[in-house]
Amino acid sequence: MPLPLARTVVAFDHVFPWDTLVARLKFHQDVALAPTLAKHLSEAVHACHGAQPPVDVVLAAPLSAERLAQRGYNQAWEIARCVARRLGVPAQARTLVRLRETPPQVGLDLAARAANVRGAFAVRADRRAWLQGRRVAIVDDVMTTGATVGELAFTVLDAGARSVEAWVVTRTPRE
């Protein structure tokens, strides 16, 4: 099934040195890397859209409460808020929620990844009316098959958003 995305903007292939920098941010508490990664992502968005990207709000792929407690921060949010600031677009941290912890996607094929995240996300009930008709960008650190951003896009569109773009720092190159 095709992803319900108006556009996907990617700063880099998920190869050295970008894969290493993303891993340091994500798994080694190197939060100071977020502004640098966001700078490159915002430059990629600017290259695709010009000075004013066609979105009303920037959201981040959410972590589960367990993963957030373990890590202490959401790497996607750290990037998203910096990108939004650079582009002059509002960012919202608590519109999307992860309903359940899912196993890591690493090593799963396309079908298993999609099944893994199906139904894992929601728009908070108190944010659904606010989301109506908005053009949304969802920021994440890495995109492999698109299962996560695709499920997030379906969730946001189902809640009434007009359109969804995915903005990701790195994308795993296709073989």
What's the pLDDT score for residue 1? 63
Interval 71-123: pLDDT, tens: 999 999 999 999 999 999 999 999 999 998 886 777 777 777 777 788 889 99
Asked if pLDDT for residue 15 goes beyond 70, the answer is: yes
Backbone angles phi, psi at 72, to 5 degrees: 90, -5
H/E stretch holding 12 reads strand 7-13
What's the pLDDT score for residue 175? 64
- Per the rule left: phi > 0, alpha: psi between -120 and 50, beta: everything else, 136 is beta
What's the pLDDT score for residue 71? 93
Contacts (Cβ under 8 Å, ≥6 apart) of 63: 71, 74, 76, 98
What's the pLDDT score for residue 53? 83
What domains, with CATH codes, occur in the chain?
7-171 (3.40.50.2020)
In this structure, the strands spanning 135-143 and 163-171 are parallel
